[in-house]
Amino acid sequence: MADTQASLLLRKQLKDLTRRPVEGFSAGLVDDSNIFEWNVTIIGPPDTLYEGGFFNAIMSFPANYPNSPPSVRFTSEMWHPNVYPDGRVCISILHAPGDDPSGYELASERWSPVHTVETILLSIIAMLSSPNDESPANIDAAKQWRDARDEFKKKVSRIVRQSQEAF
């Protein structure tokens, strides 16, 4: 079967990341026969509640990548206002291109084909550094972030410890 534009681009991005790793995460294929499913490990960013944690996620790319965004889902436990309880990451650049039907995001904040695996993962690291509780994916985490910060910190500390033990 001939390689598609998407698979060629993903192979190039994987090769680039292998040759020049980026601090803060590692990425590779779930299965060498499928370029559209990636395993990633995000290292909790320094000077954040997530510092020192190792958080695993799966990136799933659509056949028409880069015209449509991948989905990213943490497989490690994650407690964050912008991560759904099932682990799916909710950040603007992973939302379909164009105008937001809800009117919360500008088209310029949403997916664009210029994004790469690297820019996506760096955006997720930035999300861990500064949660957005204005339009949360996890309402309970957002409420705790706003109203009971000490409890939020305790829960995240436990998740970080668990991620270190599992690593």
Q: What is the tens place of the pLDDT at every residue in 55-95?
A: 999 999 999 999 999 999 999 999 999 999 999 999 999 99
Q: What residues are annotated to the active site?
A: 90
Tokens of 18: 């292998």
Under the phi-then-psi rule, with left for phi > 0, alpha for psi from -120 to 50, and beta for the rest, what region is 47? left
Task: Kindly tell me if the per-residue pLDDT of 147 is higher than 50.
Answer: yes
Q: Where does 5-160 sit in CATH, by number?
A: 3.10.110.10
Provide the residue type at 90 as one letter: C
Tell me the Ramachandran region of residue 52: left when phi exceeds 0, alpha when psi lies from -120 to 50, beta otherwise. left
Q: List the Cα angle 36/98/66 in 5-degree steps.
A: 20
